[in-house]
């Protein structure tokens, strides 16, 4: 697979200020677009030290080049969690089939944002999610280890999920 040269060019990443001590963040300056959701997908890196080269840019490039695959994988992970645990989303068991019936390109999530961590871990958060328990701006989050969904959650303003991943 050909690597996305824009992703691996460290000049395309800008270090950001954080309000959490011992955390370092970088934001990707270019645009990654999802055709599935017709959305831009911001990419951010977070680590406990200021060495950007600790990230696996081959993996990040793979995600950028296949963004809709990862979004579909995240939506499928949400659907599986909906079947197992509808209460987490604030929906009743009899509503589950309605949500599962949505095609992935019309599933009630939008505004994806991806945070990468060292060791091929990432967290995709859909800031908008049309579920009763999903707060605006927090939506639904999906953790990945490499290409596999490792967890799904419905964070709220009190959750510190990104700190827990480091």
Confidence tier at 20 by pLDDT (50, 70, 90): confident
The model's pTM: 0.88
What does the pLDDT look like over 32-64, one tens digit per residue? Answer: 999 999 999 999 999 999 999 999 999 999 999
113 close to 32: Cβ distance less than 8 angstroms: no
CA angle 36, 56, 26 (to 5 degrees): 75
Task: Give residue 25's pLDDT.
Answer: 95
| Rounded distance between C-alpha atoms, residue 134 and residue 4, angstroms | 34
Task: Give residue 166's pLDDT.
Answer: 44
Domain ranges of the chain: 5-165
Q: Is the pLDDT of residue 128 over 60?
A: yes
What does the pLDDT look like over 63-82, one tens digit per residue? Answer: 999 999 999 999 999 999 99
Q: Is the pLDDT of residue 18 over 90?
A: no
| Rounded distance between C-alpha atoms, residue 147 and residue 139, angstroms | 21
């Amino acid at each position: 697979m050909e690597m996305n040269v824009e992703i691996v060019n460290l000049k395309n990443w800008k270090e950001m200020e954080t309000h959490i001590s011992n955390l370092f963040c970088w934001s990707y300056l270019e645009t990654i677009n999802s055709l599935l959701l017709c959305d831009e997908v911001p990419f951010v890196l977070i680590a406990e030290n200021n060495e950007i080269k600790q990230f696996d840019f081959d993996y990040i490039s793979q995600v950028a080049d296949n963004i809709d695959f990862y979004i579909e994988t995240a939506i499928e992970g949400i659907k599986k969690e909906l079947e197992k645990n509808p209460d987490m989303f604030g929906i009743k068991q009899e509503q589950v089939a309605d949500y599962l019936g949505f095609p992935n390109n019309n599933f009630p999530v939008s505004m994806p944002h991806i945070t990468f961590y060292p060791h091929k871990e990432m967290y995709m958060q859909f800031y908008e999610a049309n579920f009763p328990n999903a707060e605006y701006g927090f939506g639904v989050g999906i953790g990945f280890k490499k290409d596999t969904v490792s967890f799904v959650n419905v964070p709220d303003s009190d959750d510190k999920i990104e700190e827990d991943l480091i």
